[in-house]
Amino acid sequence: MICQSRPCVLTVKHLTNKSYTMSFRLAFTVYLFIFCTFSAAQALREDQGLFDKPDGTLSTIKLKAGTAVKPLKRQGFWVEVQVGTISGWLKVSMINFGGASGGPTAIDTGRLGTGNIVSTSATRGLSAKDLINGKPNFEELQKLEQLNADGATVVAFMSEGNVIPIEQKISLTPPKPAPVSNAGATTSTGAGATSSKQKKDDDW
Amino acid sequence: MRARLLANRKKTMTGNFIGQIGVWTLLGATICAQAQTDEENVGKAGAAQVLGGAALVVGPQSQQYVNLVGNAVAKHSGSNYKWHFGVIKSDAINAFALPGGYILLSSGLLKSLESEDDLAFVLAHEVSHVVRKHHYQVVQRQRLADQASKGLQSVTQDAETNKLAQASGQIYARGLDKSAEFESDRMGVEFMTRAGYDPAAALNVLEKLQRFKGDDPRAELLFSTHPSPAERMDQLLLVGIDKLPRPSAKANSARDGRFKAFQNAL
């Protein structure tokens, strides 16, 4: 369901009759609700404003928990979504991707494309049957034991790739079992990332 | 005289106390070393079993690359294992964390990744399994069950190793509890973020994996032994992955270049 904080957005000039305008608005809202519920795969976890840009700039559009949204593309922790005819940005954690609540499970944020995934072929040697009935290969194990990396080489490698360790405390707190709401969205009260410094927004 | 006797007694008691601490410390260290050795032995047997299904990729540079990235994230796990990372030649989309610090990744999985940061998440997830001893604990439980049913039969070293290898094969074919996978995702994200990689890469990887869902035989074992990527993504979002700080520095051309070279060599 969509709430417009500025009703004039949807006002049509020639609908001068007030009650007629109200009926139109109601019908449009019902249409959007039905459209959004049945045409998109993911739903909003909580009441949330839609963002204009992936930088925390809020738009005037407000969305209700359970509103179906269609992810278009992801940029870091932001997802561009389509809600009916409107598009905007949401934080990725605002969307219920469905796994935990048993809803739709397809993640399709558009960014994947065909990628570099090669065509399907038969799996060699790593089926469950192979793992159970196969013979151990101790010669290959000896080769594996030769593979490692010393500390100094690792540090130089990281530095070369501009991988800079973070000194601050990084910790994700495991969530407590949360009741699943009947709106199809899980309550996201378990957010527990702790860090002394949190970047305001995270798109590069 | 009495004072001297008391002083001597005090000295002796102090000496005994220090001696006892030394003995207990030594005993503790020995037990730890034995436990570590046993864990390594279990890991070796399991690794041999997986390697029986798919051998290591011939390519020292590729193997060195995963060992460098792997050790970079493992360094932030707070453990002191000697890590051995290996790429195995298989189209399957899977990775195996063996007790004691042995980790195997299929070339099929590695080809599906997009960046070194993606690889860091995959490796950090496996490192977490080892650090939390997820598979080792299953082996230990199975051993206890075996001993109970067979009356503590003595077995030869070779028989024990082969038995361990087969038991490991069964464990990897069956998979772990969902909670162990979620825990490894969560801890893996922590390790990679501390190391300096982008935590958002964890979501990239899970999105990628989601695409294999369905009838793709390459991901059959992965999907039968792991929760769905969507569910894993949800769990990471619930614990606040998007509130973690992202690295201030972008991947440079050296990082992108070496990852591409690595993938091309697979």
| Whether A125 and B90 lie within 8 Å, measured CB to CB | yes
Pairwise CA distance, residues A168 & A199, whole Å: 13
Among the partner residues A121, A136, A190, nearest to B165 by beta-carbon distance: A136
Concatenating the DSSP letter of every residue in A53-89 gives STTS-EEEEEE-TT-EEEEEEEETTEEEEEETTEEEE
Among the partner residues A107, A175, A193, nearest to B207 by beta-carbon distance: A107
Pairwise CA distance, residues A40 & A42, whole Å: 6
- Write out chain A residues lying below 8 Å of B234, CB-based: 96-101, 186
In terms of CA atoms, which chain A residue is nearest residue B120? A163
Residue partners of B179: CB distance under 8 A and separation at least 6: none
Which tokens in the block code for residue A135? Answer: 């013979």
Q: What is the pLDDT at residue B143?
A: 76
In terms of CA atoms, which chain A residue is nearest residue B174? A128
- Write out chain A residues lying below 8 Å of B182, CB-based: 174
Question: A72 CA to chain B: closest CA distance, Å?
Answer: 13
Residues B108-129 have a mean pLDDT of: 96
Q: What is the pLDDT at residue B234?
A: 84
Give the number of A-B residue pairs with CB atoms closer than 8 Å.
288
Pairwise CA distance, residues B120 & B220, whole Å: 23
Residue A162: which of B254, B130, B201 has the closest Cα?
Answer: B254
Residue A179 near chain B (CB below 8 Å):
no
In terms of CA atoms, which chain A residue is nearest residue B192? A165
- Write out chain A residues lying below 8 Å of B72, CB-based: 154, 157-158, 163
Residues A119-134 have a mean pLDDT of: 65
Digit-coded pLDDT (tens) for B193-226: 999 999 999 998 988 888 776 677 787 777 778 8
Pairwise CA distance, residues A108 & A104, whole Å: 11
Residues B120-132 have a mean pLDDT of: 96
Q: What is the pLDDT at residue A35?
A: 43
Beta-ladder partners of B88: B56, B106
pLDDT at residue B228 above 80? yes
Mean confidence (pLDDT) of chain A: 67
Are A113 and A102 in contact by the 8 Å Cβ rule? The answer is: no
Q: Which pTM was predicted? A: 0.71
**pLDDT classification of A143: cutoffs 50, 70, 90:** very high
| Whether B190 and A172 lie within 8 Å, measured CB to CB | yes
Digit-coded pLDDT (tens) for B171-185: 777 777 888 899 999
Pairwise CA distance, residues B128 & B74, whole Å: 8
Pairwise CA distance, residues A113 & B211, whole Å: 10
Residue with tokens 């790593």: A126
Question: A68 CA to chain B: closest CA distance, Å?
Answer: 16
Q: What is the pLDDT at residue B211?
A: 78
Window 85-124 of A: residues touching B by CB (8 A cutoff) are 91-93, 96-101, 105-107, 109, 111-112, 115-118, 120-124
Pairwise CA distance, residues A84 & B132, whole Å: 45
Pairwise CA distance, residues B115 & B120, whole Å: 9
| Whether B52 and A135 lie within 8 Å, measured CB to CB | yes
Residue partners of B92: CB distance under 8 A and separation at least 6: A123, A124, A125, A126, A127, B54, B106, B108, B109, B218, B219, B221, B222
Residue partners of B69: CB distance under 8 A and separation at least 6: A157, B116, B119, B120, B123
Residue A16 near chain B (CB below 8 Å):
no
Longest Cα–Cα distance in chain B:
90
Tell me which of A138, A144, A180, A194 to substitute to probe the interface with B (most B C-beta atoms closer than 10 Å).
A144
Half-sphere exposure of A53 (CA within 13 A, CB side): 6
Digit-coded pLDDT (tens) for B20-79: 666 565 555 555 555 668 899 989 999 999 999 999 999 999 999 999 999 999 999 999
Better-scored residue on pLDDT, A60 or A34: A60
Q: What ipTM goes with this model? A: 0.81
What contacts 24+ positions apart, CB below 8 Å, involve B79-82? Answer: B79/B127, B79/B130, B79/B131, B81/B130, B81/B131, B82/A148
Are B71 and B124 in contact by the 8 Å Cβ rule? The answer is: no
Range ranked top by mean pLDDT from A51-55, A130-134, B132-136: B132-136
What contacts 24+ positions apart, CB below 8 Å, involve A137-142? Answer: A137/B48, A137/B51, A137/B52, A137/B55, A138/B48, A140/B48, A140/B51, A140/B52, A140/B55, A140/B56, A141/B44, A141/B47, A141/B48, A141/B51
Pairwise CA distance, residues B62 & B41, whole Å: 26
In terms of CA atoms, which chain B residue is nearest residue A91? B242
Are B52 and A136 in contact by the 8 Å Cβ rule? The answer is: yes
Residue partners of A42: CB distance under 8 A and separation at least 6: A68, A69, A70, A71, A95, A96, A97, A98, A104
Q: Which amino acid is at B32?
A: C
Are A18 and A34 in contact by the 8 Å Cβ rule? The answer is: no
- Write out chain A residues lying below 8 Å of B178, CB-based: none
